[in-house]
Homo-oligomer: A and B are copies of this chain.
């Protein structure tokens, strides 16, 4: 995983907050909270969606959100949410 930059991650997450909350606490019980999560796990989970390693109702939506992002983008987004308290 590239070294993530949380300040850049914030810029790269305009749509994430609708499901995961602007504070990283999901407004919906079936969406995960992201605030304070392990950055490596967040990065691996996002990659899993882009690599079709996750199936299910949210999987295609998440893939659509993430597939055009670079691994650096994903690392920045992971840093942004993991550093949220």
Contacts and interface: CB of A to CB of B under 8 A. Distances in A.
A56 B48 CA distance: 8
A78 to B, nearest CB: 10
What copy number does this chain have within its complex? Answer: 2
A3 interface: no
Interface of A: 26, 28-33, 36-41, 44-45, 48, 53-56, 59
Contact of A54 (B38, B41, B48): B48
B56 A55 contact: no
Contact of A37 (B33, B53, B56): B33
A30 to B, nearest CB: 5
Contacts of A48: 54-56
